[in-house]
Amino acid sequence: MTTPSKQKRPPRRIDGSKSFDELTPLQQRVVKFMVDNGKSQWDAVNEGLVSEASVALWRKENIMAWCDSYRATIPPTPEELAARAREGLNALLNSSIRVVQDTLVNGEGNPTSLKAAQWVLDGIFAQAAPPKKVEPARGMEPQNAEAELAAVLQLVKR
């Protein structure tokens, strides 16, 4: 008499197309840990945030998709916004030069386009120019800190 062999069920598949808000609190905690610290899902296991079984069930592809979803919800930093603005301004450089060149060569052009092109070129020039040296106001000359400290110590010794 043969006994029926026990068949292994395939592991459940977890959908990686969920947005960050649709994840369970544990999944959200793991994703935040990974993105904020630049670590892997296995580092989260080592830190004791989640079990190995859960990570294996979620699959790497799903976790990476969840991390991408979380990154999309994080607002950009001021530095990132400034970099994007600079990139956008630099992307307009060739068009602005062409507008000014066409106006100079042909002697005709749209005044609004010319003003916009000049504004873009001024902005790019301001980025490329070295920072201006700030001169102290009258009566506010920089002090020699060591000499001032020495004078204070002389007064204290008396």
Q: Domain check: are 84 and 55 in the same one? A: no
Q: Domain check: are 124 and 83 in the same one? A: yes
Range with lowest mean pLDDT among 2-16, 27-41, 140-154: 2-16
Residue 117 in any domain: the answer is: yes
Is the C-alpha dihedral spanning 49, 54, 58, 60 positive or negative? Answer: positive
Q: Is the pTM of this model over 0.75?
A: no
Residue 149 in any domain: the answer is: no
pLDDT reading at 47 higher than 80 = yes
For residue 20, give every residue at least 6 positions away whose Cβ sits within 8 Å of its Cβ, in sequence order, or none.
28, 31, 66, 69, 70, 72, 73
Q: Which domain holds residue 111?
A: 78-128
pLDDT at 45: 92
Q: How many domains does the chain have?
A: 2
pLDDT in tens, 96-106: 888 888 888 88
For residue 47, give every residue at least 6 positions away whose Cβ sits within 8 Å of its Cβ, in sequence order, or none.
33
143 pLDDT band, cuts 50/70/90, is low
